[in-house]
Amino acid sequence: MKILLKIAYLGTAYCGYQVQPNGVTVQEKLNEAARSIFGFDCDIVGCSRTDSGVHARGFCATVTRRGTDELTTAIPIENIPRAMNAVLPPDISVLCAEWRNADFHARYDVISKEYEYLFYNGSARDPFLLDRAWQLKKPLADQAIDAMRRAAAAFVGEHDFSALRDGGFDTDEKDATRRVFSTSVEKKGELICFRVRANGFLYHMVRIMAGTLYAVACGSILPEEIGGRLAAGARGGFGVTAPACGLYLDRVYY
């Protein structure tokens, strides 16, 4: 058996999830916490990578004893979150823990993931949303938000999303076909919330979607052009890569 953790974190202070030599990461802090409470080195396998500055509300990761597919502990499973949170930094929290079979894989067993991207649409910048949302230069009208909604709907379905990725980890992955199950754009007070659920995502795909929706709101791309631009496959046919600060991995489905 292995332990599956559900984790929330603010990504502002971290160079993404995955351990790397040039900065502090979320996985590094989880490794340290697991070693502290279990008394031995562990392998922490996450459901995906997240970039520097990206946040998570429902990130999932498994814990096993290093070099094995299992973990044995006398700590009751319901006490694991409290034990790990006692040694984790305050911007990372283990929300819950459960046992899974040894053959369960946190990444490869994912059916779909859902992200949320937050735009701040207020008339003056909000210091309490610093590094929590993309603070737009000026508020968008309801008509512009409706255009964003129609553009987001055009991403639904199975498409080749080659044009919606930047150079990075997955550039050698030839198959860029992904199935987007749902999208939504909602106005909640001074926030505009873009949500997208898919069976997988390419490098920066959601952030490019968000940047494209902003371009649609500004009138430089029309909602009805999205399908044709996807078919053309050119990165230049879409908007900028939106800032990492507005992106949240919200939920993972197994």
Q: Which two tokens stand for residue 228?
A: 């044709």
Q: Active-site residue 51, yes or no?
A: yes
Tokens standing for residue 238: 């879409």
The one-letter code for the residue type at 68 is T
Cα–Cα separations (whole angstroms), residue 246 to 2, 61, 211: 32, 22, 11
User: Quick check: helix, strand or coil at residue 48?
Assistant: coil
| Structural element, H or E, at residue 95 | strand 92-100
Q: Which amino acid is at 229?
A: R
Catalytic, out of 43, 51, 160, 250: 51
Return the closest-CA partner of residue 249 out of 211, 179, 200, 214.
200
Q: Which tokens go with 194?
A: 């873009």
Q: How far is CA 158 from the centre of its chain?
A: 20
∠108-111-113 over CA atoms, to 5°? 100
Alpha helices, H only, the chain: 26-38, 80-85, 142-153, 205-217, 226-232
Query: CA-CA distances (angstroms) from residue 96 to 58, 89, 93, 251?
Result: 10, 17, 9, 14
Catalytic residue numbers, as ranges: 51
